[in-house]
Amino acid sequence: MVEVSKKLIKETTTTAVYNRLSELIASGYFQMGEWIRERHIREILGVSSTPIREALRMLVQERLLESVPHHGVRIRRLSIKEIQDFYELRAELEGLSAQLAAMRASEVQLLAVQDMLDEAGERMKKTSVHEMEAVRHNHDFHGMIAQASGNHALADSLVQQRSNFNLLRVMLWGKDKQRPLVTVSQHQAILDAIVDRNPGLARKRAQEHILDSATLMLKVAKELENKS
């Protein structure tokens, strides 16, 4: 029983460290290519080395970090090809998600999405809004649409897809202060098509929204690549 309790405590601590590190990475606390030093993590999180190492291993597996032999781990740099591949796939997945939502979403689900969009629209108008809040809104919208699609495998796949590119998205919205408002407007257009029960239009608008983001993301990525 004691061993089981110790294992549970260890797993809980590792999960907490993993969640906090994921938030720090997504918020732009670290830069792409920056080395993640265990001592620094101990100082900011106040935990021992073991859960930190386990959490870093998990983040390497998820490809948010990369492990370099004899050097340690660092924030992974994303290649232009990786970004292009990601957005080609995501445009198809988000298009399907919106299409299915237009066919299957309940009125309750659609009202919940609209309430969230109304609140996000007001928040994004404030000059003090942090990039990470805009990222959370983006996750909330696409997550709610995916749930409304009724396809749980699709929803799970999209969660993983989005999490891999949080860092670059934060950098984009940090450079373009109007982007969050543009995003809310595009989200509203997608939702309008879903509410109208127009699967084809919902798919088209969702794909256009993702490809528009892709154009901006690739621009930021190329700027970062030229600086390195």
pLDDT tens-digit map of 156-191: 999 877 766 666 666 565 566 677 888 999 999 999
Q: Terminal CA-to-CA distance of the chain, rounded, Å? A: 52
Instruction: For residue 32, give both structure tokens.
Output: 């792409």
The per-residue pLDDT for 176 is 64
Residue ranges matching CATH 1.10.10.10 in the chain: 2-75
The per-residue pLDDT for 100 is 99
- Alpha-carbon distance of 100 to 214, in angstroms, equals 23
Q: How many of the other CB atoms lie within 10 Å of CB of 184?
A: 21
Residue 30 is given by DSSP the state S
Q: By the 8 A CB rule, do 113 and 10 touch?
A: no
Sign of CA dihedral 62, 67, 72, 74: negative
Q: By the 8 A CB rule, do 196 and 110 touch?
A: no
Instruction: Quote the radius of gyration of the chain (alpha carbons, Å).
Output: 19
Q: How far is CA 203 from CA 84, 99, 207, in A?
A: 20, 5, 6
pLDDT tens-digit map of 44-56: 888 889 999 999 9
The per-residue pLDDT for 227 is 65
- CATH for 80-227 is 1.20.120.530
The per-residue pLDDT for 4 is 32
Instruction: For residue 18, give both structure tokens.
Output: 């993993």
- The angle at the Cα of 201, spanning 105 to 94, to the nearest 5 degrees, equals 65
Helices (H), the chain: 2-26, 38-45, 49-61, 80-104, 107-124, 131-148, 152-163, 166-175, 179-195, 199-227
Domain 2-75 -> CATH class: mainly alpha
Q: For the whole model, what pTM was predicted?
A: 0.76
Kindly list the averaged pLDDT for each block of 10 residues, start to end, along the chain of length 228: 39 83 76 88 90 92 86 86 90 98 98 96 70 78 97 91 66 66 94 99 98 88 71
Sign of CA dihedral 34, 35, 41, 44: negative
The per-residue pLDDT for 96 is 98
Residue ranges matching CATH 1.20.120.530 in the chain: 80-227
The one-letter code for the residue type at 223 is E
Q: Which residues contact 222 (CB under 8 A, 6 or more apart)?
A: 80
Residue 126 is given by DSSP the state S
The per-residue pLDDT for 178 is 76
State whether residue 69 is helix, strand or coil: coil
